[in-house]
Amino acid sequence: MNLNLVDQLCLLALDDEKGSFVADSLSFAYALAGAVILELSLQEKIKIREKKIEINTHKKCNDDLLDHFLDQIRNSKKKRELQSWVKIIGEKLSYIKEETVKKLIDDGILTKKEEKILWVFSVDKFPTKNAKPENELRKRLNDILLNDRSLELKESMLISLIDMCSLNKEVYGKEGARQYKKKIKEIIENAQLSSDVGKVVKEIHDALMMVIVLMLTTSTIIVSS
């Protein structure tokens, strides 16, 4: 099953049994914005020129969520810098989670369950229905970090995003997060991307990491969980 970066990050951020998101809303909002931008760059739909994001093709992603933001970038009255798009997309946290969860339910990976709080308020939970895709993803990430396996471009991006929103303990376990700390830092800082596409994505990735760190320290973004 081909899951994009947004799908993967949301899946890893969900508690499998409780069916609720465990990531901090602020950092998760920016990480998901980063996942959207990185996925669009991986699919060669966008590029950066003079620090501003530009459309690279008229082709669609064939993914409702990605195409929504791709159209938003395409139809913007002016070209905006990376930081602006991180903020704009990050403010759509609820929409991103809603659309991604819906997609994962349609794919048979999650299921929807309604719970009552104090027997009055209803809250939707999304526990795992088919654990295989997430288990395979977690196994692959742990194998990369524990056994120094070679990693693909998307995997290095995902490891960066997981670290960005402090999900290392959730994904690798408390001991694993401590054990992999140095390796994670090396992957983030020293990912070697040889292809032309890789160089473009690395440029966006590096700029994105700096922008999000800056925004996390100064932001007043309002997001809803």
Q: Are 38 and 193 in contact (CB under 8 A)?
A: no
pTM for the predicted model, two decimal places: 0.88
Instruction: Give every CB contact of residue 212 below 8 A, 6+ residues apart in sequence.
Output: 30, 31, 33, 34, 86, 164
Q: Which CATH number fits domain 5-129+194-218: 3.30.70.3170, 3.40.1010.20, 1.10.240.10, 1.10.3630.10?
A: 1.10.3630.10
pLDDT tens, residue by residue, 103-145: 999 999 999 987 766 656 677 788 899 999 999 999 999 999 9
**Residue extents of the structural domains in the chain:** 5-129+194-218
Instruction: Look at residue 62 and give its three-state secondary structure.
Output: coil
- Tell me how far apart the alpha carbons of residues 184 and 187 are, in angstroms, rounded to a whole number: 5
* Widest Cα–Cα separation across the chain: 56
* Torsional class of 119: left (φ above 0), alpha (ψ -120 to 50), beta (otherwise): left
For residue 130, give the amino acid letter: N
- Tell me how far apart the alpha carbons of residues 170 and 176 are, in angstroms, rounded to a whole number: 10
pLDDT tens, residue by residue, 117-126: 665 667 778 8
